[in-house]
């Protein structure tokens, strides 16, 4: 989808902002979030990225690494918190009430096909949107890179608007089924279920998506409503389009990069990855020199002023 890469913008703030953020690496005991928020240039920069999403872009990558030197993990976490506060209201993501969730491999035996959540595994594939655990919709997905894997873990993005155009032109039967209700489970949040189509339309009459196939298959099994042959056909068509190389853009996020997308219009995923041997979780790495596991920070943001939802 190189011809459509224009829907993603790669944006680097000015040097003064980068110098400020780099200086925070040494201020571990101070309130760096408020320091960042008090910087007018930083706020204006994030607001400008937000405006790009309101005026046509479906995604922006905010690039905060300084002179190709990565920021400290604690600084990246503080930047992510500041960005999320500027963008809007954070949505609770699990039964614990967490509004910022760390994405890393908890256990290599954990799988989304056996009840795990995608962000807890090292699995790739399953191109999806995040708005599957709750029926309510939000505006923005934040994925902030703290550390990379030794190998793999490429970010994959797919333009939902382009997928809809292909479905409408070539796969009308599949599209008609994808616009009907499916069962969904609120995995990791509650034991309840809800119904919703995979494809709907927002107030601007633009197509929006809700999709993560393993979650949906699991929901249908639990409510004892097996997917019909026609539903399975439609999901197979959608998966084939999402996985086609010509419909994807791929890139590696570097520590300090923050991906910001319109969650229900940009489907995303990753390639499978392997962490460094003997790598450790970010929470256990304070006193050791062991490499970090591949770690992202995820936030779901509701912008009350948005007209997209």
Structural domains of the chain, with CATH:
2-302 (3.60.130.10)
Whole-prediction pTM: 0.90
- What mean pLDDT do residues 272-300 have? 83
> What is the predicted pLDDT for the residue at 309?
39
Contact 182, 196 (CB under 8 A): yes
> What is the predicted pLDDT for the residue at 288?
58
Percent of the chain with pLDDT over 90: 66
Q: Report d(CA 136, CA 269) in Å as an integer.
A: 21
> What is the predicted pLDDT for the residue at 307?
42
Contacts of 276 (CB under 8 A, 6+ apart): 149, 150, 291
Percent of the chain with pLDDT over 70: 90
Q: Report d(CA 125, CA 239) in Å as an integer.
A: 10
Q: Give the HSE-up count for residue 6: Cα atoms under 13 Å, Cβ half-sphere.
A: 5
CA 84 to mean position of chain CA atoms: 13
Tokens encoding 157: 């993005």
**Which of the listed ranges 43-47, 113-117, 213-217 does the model predict with the highest average pLDDT?**
43-47
CA dist 207 → 1, 68, 158, 177 (Å): 18, 38, 13, 14
Give residue-wise pLDDT tens across range 74-131.
999 999 999 999 999 999 998 888 899 998 887 777 666 666 676 777 677 789 999 9
Give residue-wise pLDDT tens across range 260-277.
999 999 999 999 899 899
Confidence of residue 141 (pLDDT cuts 50, 70, 90): very high
66 versus 133: which is more confidently predicted? 133
Q: Give the HSE-up count for residue 124: Cα atoms under 13 Å, Cβ half-sphere.
A: 15
Helix (H) or strand (E) holding 8: strand 8-11
- What mean pLDDT do residues 13-31 have? 86
* Cα Rg of the chain (Å, integer): 19
């Amino acid at each position: 989808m190189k011809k459509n890469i224009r829907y993603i913008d790669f944006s680097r703030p000015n040097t003064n902002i980068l110098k400020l953020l780099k200086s925070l690496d040494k201020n571990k005991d101070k309130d760096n979030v408020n320091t960042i928020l008090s910087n007018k240039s930083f706020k204006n920069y994030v607001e400008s990225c937000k405006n790009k999403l309101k005026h046509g872009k479906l995604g922006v990558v905010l690039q905060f690494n300084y002179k190709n030197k990565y920021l400290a993990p604690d600084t990246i976490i503080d930047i992510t918190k500041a960005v999320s506060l500027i963008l809007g209201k954070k949505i609770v993501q699990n039964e614990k009430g967490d509004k910022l969730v760390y994405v890393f491999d908890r256990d290599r035996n954990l799988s989304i096909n056996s009840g795990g959540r995608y962000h807890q595994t090292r699995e790739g594939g399953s191109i999806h949107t995040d708005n599957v655990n709750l029926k309510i919709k939000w505006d923005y997905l934040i994925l902030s890179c703290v550390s990379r894997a030794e190998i793999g873990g490429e970010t994959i993005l797919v333009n939902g608007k382009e997928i809809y155009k292909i479905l409408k032109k070539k796969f009308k039967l599949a599209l008609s089924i994808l616009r009907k209700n499916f069962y969904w489970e609120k995995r990791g949040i509650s034991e309840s279920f809800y119904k919703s189509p995979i494809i709907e339309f927002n107030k601007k009459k633009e197509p929006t998506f809700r999709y993560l196939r393993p979650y949906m298959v699991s929901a249908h099994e639990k409510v004892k409503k097996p997917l019909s042959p026609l539903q399975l056909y439609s999901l197979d068509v959608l998966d084939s389009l999402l996985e086609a190389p010509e419909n994807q853009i791929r890139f590696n996020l570097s520590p300090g990069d923050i991906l910001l997308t319109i969650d229900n219009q940009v489907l995303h995923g990753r390639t499978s990855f392997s962490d460094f041997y003997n790598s450790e979780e970010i929470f256990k790495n304070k006193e050791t020199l062991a490499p970090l596991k591949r770690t992202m920070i995820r936030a779901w943001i509701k912008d009350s002023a948005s007209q997209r939802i």
